Structure 1
Amino acid sequence: MLALRGDRPQNDTCISEEAQYEYARDLIAHIRNFGGFSIGAACYPEVHIEAGDSLSDLRSLKAKVKSGADFLITQLFLDNNFFYDFKEKLDLIEVNIPVSAGIMPVINKKQIERITGLCGASIPAKFKRILDKYENNPEALKEAGIAYATEQIIDLLSSGVDGIHLYTMNKPEVARKIIGQISNIRSYLGNNIKYA
């Protein structure tokens, strides 16, 4: 079960005074009391937009793990170096649960600009050039976005990532295409790859 707090409403007046779970860690602890579930939580390689700084974000993440999270799935990132740096920080704070990398194949420029704006993820210059070049050619942008995500995944798999979580935005054909493209590489790396 993936336990998320979710985005806060734009208008805080609609939040009930009886809301039980101000933070995801509270929901995780509640679910843990029932038993019988493997509980996942979100994490943010580029720092949660509400955290303010990396140290505060890591403290919050550590609290989720102490509350009972069994695995983590990252927010999307478009530069694998953020993921690798994040994993090093997790080692330093002794968070030793599996972390699946959240990869979003970008197939729409406006959509990715909106999503990265909401979650605080950055768009690297390399990918910005792709967006700018193909923004008026939807099919070319889709193919370029799939190729970029596939390259990210190949790099992550080669580095021993615990799992991959594809944010496909209800486009299953995108997931099928990516999985098809990495199937041969997967056979070289072994079949112990997990898809969250």
Structure 2
Amino acid sequence: MKICELFQMKKVFSFEVFPPRRIDSVNIIYDTIEKLKGLNPDFISVTYSAGGSESNADTFKIASAIKNNYGIESVAHLPSINHTKVEVLKILEDLRTAGIENILALRGDVNPSFSPKNDFKFASDLISFIKEHGDFNIIAACYPEGHFESPSIIDDIRNLKRKVDAGANQLITQLFFDNNCFYSFRERAAIAGINIPIEAGIMPVVNKKQIERIVALCRVNLPKKFLAIMNRYENNPEALRDAGIAYAVDQIIDLIAQGVDGIHLYTMNNPYIAHRIYEAINTLLVA
């Protein structure tokens, strides 16, 4: 099923998981998916880590299992920076064979260990290519606070419009901690004529290292309320976990009240956190 169709019927609720980094941890991801299945997600997306072709195989194997073994719609992440057009054509054929209809089309981050290919300079190039060579539902990433490489917020929206014009059917945001950033972004998108569904990406922060990694990689704004909570409980792991979950729940409740199209939860492969959040917001999703 093309998951863009779900937005016409309901408020979409979905998860993201990532392939295990160690071979001996491979069974853990399937245990995680089994536990997430009970929460009835509309889909589960599988990230593509920066490990070359081996990560490619892991991503598509897990996405195929989600769809064909667990009966949940899956989304395969596809960053193009390290792929040629010939390689992407092979990936599209493999996805078709596995029955996967949904792709999150990304440029991808530059990895110093790999020389980037030049076939797809931007995500919009990949989106156009997928549109030309297959009947897939194409998801694009968007950035409520602007991509850190964009010269300005206006340039970032222009780039997003190019993705939509190239054929993106829906959007998922990068994580954010200030809902006002999302509401401002949604307004800018509407002004630019972007009228496809936008799912809000929410990441529950449950430890100090996670906060530091997020700030370094994503360069998102950390509101005073968030910082106060994190500073208060940084030396109490259990309290910090619970506070991070509560903050994410508060975000989601506000987003649903403001008419968000859907919630995409970055689970970090932690089904306990997903369960806690689902229990808190389940009735709101169908209200």
TM-score, with structure 2 as normaliser: 0.62
Asked whether 1:43 is paired with 2:145, we answer no
Per-residue deviation, residues 70-97 of structure 1 (Å, max 9, x unmatched): 0000000001000000000011101000
Q: Distance in 1 between matches of 2:272 and 2:131?
A: 35
1:156-167 superposed matches below 5 A: 156-167=255-266
1:58-137 superposed matches below 5 A: 58-137=157-236
RMSD: 1.4
Q: Distance in 2 between matches of 1:118 and 1:170?
A: 19
Specify the alignment match of 1:148 in structure 2: 247
Q: CA offset at residue 23 of structure 1?
A: 1.1
Mapped contact 2:256–2:284 kept (Cα < 8 A): no
Q: Distance in 1 between matches of 2:218 and 2:265?
A: 16
- Structure with a larger share of its residues in strand: 2
Q: CA offset at residue 173 of structure 1?
A: 1.6
Q: Distance in 2 between matches of 1:63 and 1:91?
A: 14
The residue type paired with residue 183 of structure 2 is Y
Mapped contact 1:43–1:74 kept (Cα < 8 A): yes
Asked whether 1:6 is paired with 2:86, we answer no
Unmatched 5+ residue regions in structure 1?
190-196
Q: CA offset at residue 108 of structure 1?
A: 1.3
Specify the alignment match of 2:267 in structure 1: 168
Q: Distance in 1 between matches of 2:230 and 2:195?
A: 36
Displaced runs of 4 or more, over 6 A: none
The residue type paired with residue 4 of structure 1 is L
Q: Distance in 2 between matches of 1:171 and 1:52?
A: 35
Q: CA offset at residue 184 of structure 1?
A: 3.0
Mapped contact 1:65–1:95 kept (Cα < 8 A): yes
Unmatched 5+ residue regions in structure 2?
1-102
Q: Distance in 1 between matches of 2:147 and 2:155?
A: 9
The residue type paired with residue 237 of structure 2 is P
Asked whether 1:19 is paired with 2:118, we answer yes
Q: CA offset at residue 29 of structure 1?
A: 0.9
The residue type paired with residue 109 of structure 2 is D
State the SS of the aligned residue for 2:171: strand
Mapped contact 2:208–2:234 kept (Cα < 8 A): yes
Q: Distance in 1 between matches of 2:283 and 2:265?
A: 18
Q: Distance in 2 between matches of 1:95 and 1:48?
A: 17
Asked whether 1:138 is paired with 2:237, we answer yes
Q: Distance in 1 between matches of 2:275 and 2:143?
A: 26
Q: CA offset at residue 168 of structure 1?
A: 1.5
Mapped contact 2:146–2:153 kept (Cα < 8 A): yes
Asked whether 1:186 is paired with 2:281, we answer no
Q: CA offset at residue 111 of structure 1?
A: 1.2
Q: CA offset at residue 56 of structure 1?
A: 1.0
The residue type paired with residue 110 of structure 1 is K
Moved more, 163-172 or 71-80: 163-172
State the SS of the aligned residue for 1:2: strand
Q: CA offset at residue 120 of structure 1?
A: 1.8
Q: CA offset at residue 27 of structure 1?
A: 1.0
Specify the alignment match of 1:192 in structure 2: none
Mapped contact 2:171–2:196 kept (Cα < 8 A): yes
Q: Distance in 2 between matches of 1:87 and 1:101?
A: 10
